[in-house]
Amino acid sequence: MVSKKNKYSLAAGILSASLLLTACSSDSSSSEKSGSGSKGDKVVVDIFQGKVEIADQLKALTEQYTKQHPNVTFNIETVGGGADGSSALKAKFASNQAPDIFGNDGDQAAQVWKDKFEDLSDQPWVKDAFEGTLDGMTIDGKVYGMPFNMEGYGFAYNKKLFEKAGIKELPKTYSELEAAAKKLKAAGITPFSVGYGEWWVLANHGLNVPLAYQEDPDKFIKGLNEGTAKFEGNKQFDNYFKLLDLTMKYGNKNPITTDYNTQVTLFATGEAAMVQQGNWIQPMLDKITPNMEVGFIPMPLSDDPAQSDKLMIDVPSNWVIYNKAPEADKKAAKDFLNWMVTSEEGKTALTKEFKYIPAFKNIEAKAEDIGPLGADLLKYSEEGKAYQWQFMKYPDGAGQEFGAALQSYVAGKSSKEEALKALDTTWAKFKK
């Protein structure tokens, strides 16, 4: 296993072999599933997943599997990620309706939920996973989750609107981003589509940037746990608030009440030139504005391009199987997950329909399959310009409170200093 710190030098590691790729706790530890499962030879596999963007595509894929395996059908429940998804999953377990397959973010979340996981170390797909992609779900040498895919985020931008504003060089630093925002505004274009009504946009994807900028993120997080490091007074977090201010100054009205769908739609319809999101929005863009010319630029906190010109890339989540599910359900669930990443139908769906950058070297994905956002992630990856996702390492339960503190700042109800103090207080409250 590579170290967590070095796990995503993607060009050299995860993607190099495949550049055919030209891309929460639960208290109910013994709850048994009821209301579904096997009846005779018939098996119903319950899937609980948080990726609303691929709900239709996943349903279509399970239907393909059922055609080949008529005794297996699926019951899919999609609940948006973050606190809503976590709370809904906990409620499932508490009411003895635990799903057979569900998602887990890995790292800290894996530690919290590990008692629910089936050991998947012997599954065929394990040998095909890119180096490092199993780290977040490996506990005591055993693999408990199958990585969904690789994802990355930054500011997605509209190439035509940038051209209309006369932006010839893509911004790679904070000052260049500010200059681009001014040009866009002068051209009558709203620079940023801002969706800070979603706590995770701020708390997870936003705060991850200054965490990733730390000289040694793991050391900094260790310091937060030991009380020797703080958000308050840290240069990178001060710089993040500057970036936050920039997006609000040059963004849409009412950022604190703008939700995810509205945020992405504003961007997809050309009402704003940039949006802080990841390649997971590609299917939505394709649906709203087919063949939209888009790409990625970084979320820069400094004027040093060597530091700022990077995207945030990692494994977003993992498929896990409930270890107390009926044996027939577990067998079908394992077979389906393996089929999804080894069959031609599954591999085609993951790349062409889901627009996923695969985490497995046996899956080929071309730029035209995964879309322009995925293609830009690959470009950054090839160049070794990627930061790891640090928000996976938050203490369990801290993320939503981080979001509330930042939303208070965005709403003008607290100062930067008060928000940073709140972040420190939250970390101290939830750390173990």
Return the CATH number of 151-313+388-430, one of 3.60.10.10, 3.40.190.10, 3.40.50.1000, 3.40.50.620: 3.40.190.10
Q: In the prediction, which pLDDT does 12 show?
A: 35
Give 329 or 3, the one with higher predicted confidence.
Answer: 329
188: its two tokens: 């009558």
74 CA to centre of own chain: 24
Does residue 179 register a pLDDT over 60? yes
Q: How confident is the model at residue 34 (pLDDT cuts 50, 70, 90)?
A: very low
At 209-240, the pLDDT tens digits run 999 999 999 999 999 999 999 999 999 999 99
User: At 228, phi and psi to the nearest 5?
Assistant: -100, -5
Residue 326, number of CB atoms within 10 A of its CB? 17
Does residue 5 register a pLDDT over 80? no
Q: In the prediction, which pLDDT does 83 show?
A: 54
Closest Cα to residue 213, out of 192, 198, 235, 195? 235
Sign of CA dihedral 162, 166, 169, 171: negative
Average pLDDT over residues 381-396: 88
Q: In the prediction, which pLDDT does 163 show?
A: 98
Number of Cα atoms under 13 Å in the Cβ half of residue 107: 21
Contact between 318 and 105 under an 8 Å Cβ cutoff? The reply is yes
Does residue 109 register a pLDDT over 70? yes
Q: In the prediction, which pLDDT does 100 show?
A: 98
Angle at 260 between CA 259 and CA 263, to 5 degrees: 85
Where does 13-148 show beta strands of DSSP type E?
Answer: 38-39, 42-49, 72-78, 101-104, 138-139, 142-143, 146-147
Superfamily of chain region 24-149+316-364: Periplasmic binding protein-like II (3.40.190.10)
Does residue 340 register a pLDDT over 70? yes
At 268-306, the pLDDT tens digits run 999 999 999 999 999 899 999 999 999 999 999 999 999
Which pTM was predicted?
Answer: 0.75
Asked if domains 24-149+316-364 and 151-313+388-430 share a fold, the reply is yes
Q: In the prediction, which pLDDT does 82 show?
A: 58
Q: How confident is the model at residue 4 (pLDDT cuts 50, 70, 90)?
A: very low
Contact between 47 and 100 under an 8 Å Cβ cutoff? The reply is yes
The ranges assigned to domains in the chain are 24-149+316-364, 151-313+388-430
**Sequence-ordered list of residues with C-beta below 8 angstroms from that of 264, at least 6 positions apart, any chain:** 193, 195, 275, 277, 281, 284, 285
